[in-house]
Structure 1
Amino acid sequence: MQAHGARALGYWRWSRTICNSVAARNTALYSSRVSFSSVSPSPQVPDADGSASATATAHPGSVRNHRERELILSVLSTVPSPREARKFLNSVSGGETMRSQRAFEEQQARLAMEQPAVRTPGQLVPGEILPSAGGQQQQYARAETGGAPALETVPRKLTAAVFIDGLQSDSACERTGKLLAQIQRIGVTPVVMLGSGARDGGHDGYRAIVKRVHQLSDAIEREGGKARPINEGLFFNSPYMPSALSVDPELIGAAVAQNQTPIISPLMADSSLRVQVLRTQAAAPALARALAQSTSPQQAMAGSRGEFSLLLARLILLGNSDGLTSTDGEAFHRFVNLEEDYGDLAAAGCRQAETLDLMRICLGILPPTAAGIVASVDSDPSLVLKGLISERPVGTQHKSAAQRLQRDRNAALRGLNHTQSTVPSYKPLPNYPFVKIGSDRNAASASNAAAQPPTRFTLLRHGFRIQRHKSVDTCDLPRLRALLESSFKRTLDGDSYFDRLRALEKRGGIEIIIAGDYQGAVVATHEPLPGSDKPLPYLDKFAVLPTAQGTGMADILWAQLRRACPSCMWRSRNDNGVNKWYFDRSNGHFRSRALEAGEQGTRWVFFWYQSQAAGQRTLTADEIQAGIEVSQAIPPSFA
């Protein structure tokens, strides 16, 4: 209990740190809010059922305290890893603006210039040079090949582009306004565009869109944020490129400079001053391109008075669905690597095909470290904050106690009860979050399903191409060795290591998965087990370049590993900082005994995961026991 209390206190302090880290930037915002509240009565904010909230009629100070508590609890519910917490705090504080992103973008830009890839027309590569409206070229963090990274001269504001389609009810408008106000208060600037809700542009939706834009702005103001509706002058047809839609970023920059959330209408006036309602599929890529061209660390954003440029972290699409599903509705996609998975999803059928295509286009325009989130407008704000702060899909967050209990029951029915003496017992990590986001939709009854907010979303990355090798000799060994040494920060005993892999090729086989341009790799082997004709799937190496961290590379490689090895086992040093990441993704673990005084060796933690799909191989109790012994005997590969 004391350990649980200490961890709870640590998460509470971390959430307060997030709120305090942006307090200095919002001092003027909060002071103006206090002065306004002192002379004006607090508005009554309707709840989801239409009744007025009791806190809305309370003292203005109580309302602010209530909002702060809600924000802290929402942040606590994300349960990020220490690395994710540090990264988010650094990005909102302004002291550090993701050096790994700059290095990765420079590397991608050099590759695009030196080795132009053959790709289909219209396909975009993250980090490539983007054409501007005037036909000029712009590059994210351009640096000469082999030169030192360019120093930043302009501060960057962490930004999330939010596209909303399907904001039909007043309750959804209030819920979305609360979400956007909370995003603004934790130091992220949302740039919001409302969709037309129609497949074809026209005059019919003009009044409805303008009305919703102002309603959403009012909802943000009621929740303590600041908003600015932008209905005119943003979209236009450039005389240099009449067929292309252009965006004037100055109006957005001016709103962000005043700590206001721009709420954009997809409206455009033609040369005859007739107003057109633009389709989301046309307006969203144009807006994404304008935002991407405002991310240069050497040039301030137009309209910002030279104060900042943008640091785009997320592209959030709030619509009528809580993610991407298959056409028959059977499969839900929690994570999508667009570069590798788009063709398979399109061929198999996706119920939200237009949403998938739109996210693919926009993420191809945005910087490579940006991620996409597809969620429902009816989602709890805490759920979307989880995807904003954390870099993991919802399915890879801490498992709930109920899920663990059900898994243990299923294991007992299969004869894999981990409490048996033949299998080392393990203790799951304590479960947080502190806030219950909602019930699982599949577990809820039909009568209560409509009343429960969605509890899932789809996380998308532009991603990387995947190479698969069954032999060491088909890989670029010098580059693979450099990747492993850079990731582990140790010297690889290359000759012995690769000779061992060649020997395993002829016995059980190996799987080498390369992501991108040798920016990440997984080496899995099939180790022979004594007394068994089935080899043990073993994760030998999991490596990601430091410059590729924050791009979703780890999740992409892990998904490929689960596809290649439905069940797998691996070991990690007891003091490895990545173990928390392994705990979240394993079904069980076993710690080797403590070393006695004078003994030599390494204390290991042995992990394994099991396939839940029917017909897939699962590790038996004896195989897990034998696998621990085999894993412990594998010779070290680093000097």
Structure 2
Amino acid sequence: MLPRIPASCARASSSLSSTRNHTFKAFYATIRSLRQPPPEPDDAPLPDNDFIVSILRANPSLRDTRSYLASFGPRPKPPSAPSADRLVAASKDLSAAQSIPVALEHPKPSPVLSSILDPVVKRTALVKFQGPFTDVQLDSIARGMWTMTLCRGGNRMNGPPLIEETMRIVTTLEKQGARARPVLGAVVRLGPKPDDDDVTESPDLTPPEAHTFPSDLVPIRSALRAGEIPVIPPFALDSFCRSVRVDSNDVLGALARGMVEAAEIDNLQPGTSSDILPSEDVDLTPLRLMIINREGGVPSYARSGYPHLLINLSSEYSHIHDTFHEPWHSTNPTALSNLALARTCLNYMPPTSSAVMVSHRSPSSLIANLITNKPALSSSLPHALLQGNRRLTAHTPTLLRRGLPIRVLRTANDIDRPKMNALLEQSFGRTLDQQPFYERLERTLDFVVVAGDYVGAAIVTNEPCAGFAEPISYLDKFAVLPSHQGDGTVDFLWVALHDESYGLGHPFSANPNGGKGGVGEGRDLVWRSRANNPVNKWYFERSSGHMRMGPWVLFWCDAEKRLKLEQARRAHAGMSYVEEWEKGRLGQWADVVEKIPSAWK
């Protein structure tokens, strides 16, 4: 049965009570599933202009485009201050300077002119090929690749020889129009880095069993500057300088760490690359990790074995291990090892980086992830909408981020007020009226979900409502720092909010966020937003319904457990436009929400 998701109501006014019956029918008239785009077959061949088609399918937003340009666009270099010699020479008489013989040199192109004519700044990604793949499958993967750094992976000891497989990948990439170079010599060294004893790693983070130095990366840097994709088999040098085969995950972990360290050295020595044209400049810092295999992403207990859409490694890593069903060890044998690989690599890569685990059946997902840096479907969408979505298949990719720890606070005294003030004021761009705001929270606070060190927060209060046995669960504030908008924090925060409010009572709400662990009865969640708020589009997609109230829009999310029980009670008959427990609630919600005082000066 299609999920019953309400649409917009008629505008609330003084005649709200007289038009309530018509309003109920209006906001229950639209079925969201009808707005879903048709499914895209994973195995369908892409046309010759597949890169452009993939960009159009990715449908990047304005924020996605800005984020992409910030990561992959040309970076402005600070102007160099004129030296004292140049200042003295400029003050001399021009005629005297013209009498000095000058040796003719080949003029160097202006850096500004070069950046305009060829504004390419090469960035890198680490890609693990985890086969074995047939020629057709490898051909499909190669069509989805663009100028990236490749590291050939694979843990099958009984597969074809690595050198032959490496050359096969190079040949396939070149057949698709890419320029590739096999790097057959070992670029990593076996064992921990000599100074690792002084580095304190996370207690449950396994460091790679290999390391690399900047000098070892010369073949990779050379290939990238030549516009070629280096393809690297998983070899490492042991203590006797012998090239031995190692686990590909150790090679990738060592490369992620070593390339970030090499890029930091490059940034500290900007003069060493002053003669390099923009088209030859390479930033070795990897921004993406792509794991291409035969099985796809990490299966989720909350999606009946379908893959996780988005994983917050900082808060969900152990929970995924604990909820990994035994049969998945056979169907997805490398899911947990690849999960550990993503965690290791993202620990060294920039916070905005991401990893994606994707099946060879979804090559276009690589380009979509590169551009949007988002999952195929948002994990914060209503669960019923995700369960009925035709784009959610066994081969849907899993996006992984380093993420942030999530915790739930129950009292106003537990709130770090200076950090909360900074978060709210930066997020909303207004000055918080602190004293009445916190006095109100001391009386009405239900819980606060905090992401990281107050980079995001969701504040939920209990608002008394006449005619209801229990108060309204009201989302008072939902805020994320501007610097963390677009990096997954918004989705992580909303999923935790769902698990503590209207999603309670379902096993898929038992996430390790320090809250109720999914145990309890879900409650309707209500909130308001300015009618001209650009975030409303995002709210429309996640709410059960909305109603205009003059300058405000009232949103709500129905308790999911109650809806499920009602649907089960009525079997296949479905639910009517207005249930008994729904009658009159909009008018009472609107009356309560309109009286909530502003928190701003």
TM bucket (normalised to shorter chain) is: 0.5 to 0.7
Residue 266 of structure 1 is matched in structure 2 by 234
Is this contact kept in 2: 1:172–1:377, CA < 8 A? yes
- Please, which runs of 5 or more residues in structure 1 have no aligned partner? 1-46, 56-65, 98-153, 185-189, 408-437, 443-453, 594-602
Distance apart, 1:637 and its partner CA: 1.0
Q: Secondary structure at the match of 1:497?
A: helix
Q: How does 1:129-168 map to 2 (within 5 A)?
A: 157-168=122-133
Amino acid at match of 1:161: L
Residue 192 of structure 1 is matched in structure 2 by 150
Amino acid at match of 2:437: Y
Amino acid at match of 2:131: G
Structure 2 distance, partners of 1:360, 1:344, is 14
- Which deviates more, 618-627 or 295-304? 295-304
Is this contact kept in 2: 1:256–1:262, CA < 8 A? yes
Q: How does 1:193-212 map to 2 (within 5 A)?
A: 193-198=151-156, 208-212=161-165
Residue 115 of structure 2 is matched in structure 1 by none
- For residue 484 of structure 1, the aligned residue among 418, 424, 427 is 424
Amino acid at match of 2:226: Q
Structure 1 distance, partners of 2:302, 2:595, is 47
Q: How does 1:43-442 map to 2 (within 5 A)?
A: 67-68=48-49, 70-95=50-75, 157-181=122-146, 184=147, 190-198=148-156, 208-237=161-190, 241=194, 244-246=210-212, 248-270=216-238, 274-296=242-264, 297-299=267-269, 307-326=281-300, 330-331=304-305, 332-349=307-324, 351=328, 352-379=335-362, 381-396=363-378, 440-441=392-393
Residue 331 of structure 2 is matched in structure 1 by none
Whether 1:553 aligns to 2:515 is no
The CA deviation string for residues 234-256 of structure 1, in whole angstroms up to 9 with x for no partner, is: 22348974974326222221112
Structure 2 distance, partners of 1:545, 1:252, is 37
From the superposition, tell whether residues 302 and 233 of structure 1 become closer, same or farther in structure 2 (CA, over 3 Å). Answer: farther
Residue 33 of structure 2 is matched in structure 1 by none
Structure 2 distance, partners of 1:588, 1:161, is 42
Whether 1:531 aligns to 2:467 is yes
Is this contact kept in 2: 1:165–1:196, CA < 8 A? yes
- Which deviates more, 157-166 or 171-180? 157-166
TM-score between both structures, scaled by the size of structure 2: 0.67
From the superposition, tell whether residues 361 and 503 of structure 1 become closer, same or farther in structure 2 (CA, over 3 Å). Answer: same
Amino acid at match of 1:495: Q
Q: Secondary structure at the match of 1:180?
A: coil
Q: Which is higher, the Rg of structure 1 or of structure 2? A: 2
Whether 1:586 aligns to 2:543 is yes
Structure 1 distance, partners of 2:381, 2:497, is 20
Q: Secondary structure at the match of 2:495?
A: helix
From the superposition, tell whether residues 316 and 625 of structure 1 become closer, same or farther in structure 2 (CA, over 3 Å). Answer: farther
Distance apart, 1:304 and its partner CA: 11
Structure 1 distance, partners of 2:458, 2:552, is 20
Is this contact kept in 2: 1:372–1:461, CA < 8 A? yes
Identity of aligned residues (%): 30
Structure 2 distance, partners of 1:283, 1:633, is 60
From the superposition, tell whether residues 342 and 269 of structure 1 become closer, same or farther in structure 2 (CA, over 3 Å). Answer: closer
Structure 2 distance, partners of 1:165, 1:543, is 40
- For residue 461 of structure 1, the aligned residue among 397, 401, 416 is 401
From the superposition, tell whether residues 386 and 308 of structure 1 become closer, same or farther in structure 2 (CA, over 3 Å). Answer: closer
Distance apart, 1:494 and its partner CA: 0.9
Distance apart, 1:483 and its partner CA: 1.2
Amino acid at match of 1:487: S
Residue 102 of structure 1 is matched in structure 2 by none
Distance apart, 1:397 and its partner CA: 8.5
Distance apart, 1:384 and its partner CA: 2.8
Distance apart, 1:615 and its partner CA: 7.9
Structure 1 distance, partners of 2:150, 2:559, is 40
The CA deviation string for residues 385-413 of structure 1, in whole angstroms up to 9 with x for no partner, is: 2222224322229989x969979xxxxxx
Residue 534 of structure 2 is matched in structure 1 by 577
Amino acid at match of 2:537: K
Distance apart, 1:323 and its partner CA: 1.0
Structure 1 distance, partners of 2:128, 2:259, is 13
Is this contact kept in 2: 1:251–1:303, CA < 8 A? no
Is this contact kept in 2: 1:537–1:568, CA < 8 A? yes
Structure 2 distance, partners of 1:96, 1:386, is 26
Residue 595 of structure 2 is matched in structure 1 by 633
Q: Secondary structure at the match of 2:403?
A: coil
Structure 2 distance, partners of 1:196, 1:251, is 21
From the superposition, tell whether residues 386 and 503 of structure 1 become closer, same or farther in structure 2 (CA, over 3 Å). Answer: same
Structure 1 distance, partners of 2:192, 2:431, is 57
From the superposition, tell whether residues 161 and 628 of structure 1 become closer, same or farther in structure 2 (CA, over 3 Å). Answer: farther
Q: Secondary structure at the match of 2:128?
A: strand
Structure 2 distance, partners of 1:259, 1:616, is 55
Distance apart, 1:93 and its partner CA: 2.4
Residue 14 of structure 2 is matched in structure 1 by none
From the superposition, tell whether residues 257 and 403 of structure 1 become closer, same or farther in structure 2 (CA, over 3 Å). Answer: same
The CA deviation string for residues 492-533 of structure 1, in whole angstroms up to 9 with x for no partner, is: 01111111111114xxxx211111122221111232332111
From the superposition, tell whether residues 614 and 530 of structure 1 become closer, same or farther in structure 2 (CA, over 3 Å). Answer: closer
Q: Secondary structure at the match of 2:475?
A: strand
Structure 2 distance, partners of 1:262, 1:289, is 17
Amino acid at match of 1:88: Y
From the superposition, tell whether residues 495 and 228 of structure 1 become closer, same or farther in structure 2 (CA, over 3 Å). Answer: same
Q: Secondary structure at the match of 1:325?
A: coil
From the superposition, tell whether residues 370 and 621 of structure 1 become closer, same or farther in structure 2 (CA, over 3 Å). Answer: farther
Amino acid at match of 2:397: F
Alignment root-mean-square deviation, CA: 3.7
Distance apart, 1:215 and its partner CA: 2.3
Q: Secondary structure at the match of 2:528?
A: strand
Q: Secondary structure at the match of 2:48?
A: helix
Distance apart, 1:160 and its partner CA: 2.2
Structure 2 distance, partners of 1:303, 1:165, is 35
Distance apart, 1:622 and its partner CA: 3.9
Is this contact kept in 1: 2:296–2:398, CA < 8 A? yes
Q: RCO greater where, 1 or 2, for CA within 8 Å and sep 6 or more?
A: 2
- For residue 511 of structure 1, the aligned residue among 447, 471, 478 is 447
Distance apart, 1:95 and its partner CA: 4.4
Distance apart, 1:556 and its partner CA: 1.5
Is this contact kept in 1: 2:378–2:491, CA < 8 A? no
TM-score between both structures, scaled by the size of structure 1: 0.63
Structure 2 distance, partners of 1:264, 1:520, is 40
From the superposition, tell whether residues 621 and 211 of structure 1 become closer, same or farther in structure 2 (CA, over 3 Å). Answer: farther
Structure 2 distance, partners of 1:377, 1:457, is 10
Q: Secondary structure at the match of 1:91?
A: helix
Q: Secondary structure at the match of 2:377?
A: helix
From the superposition, tell whether residues 191 and 553 of structure 1 become closer, same or farther in structure 2 (CA, over 3 Å). Answer: same
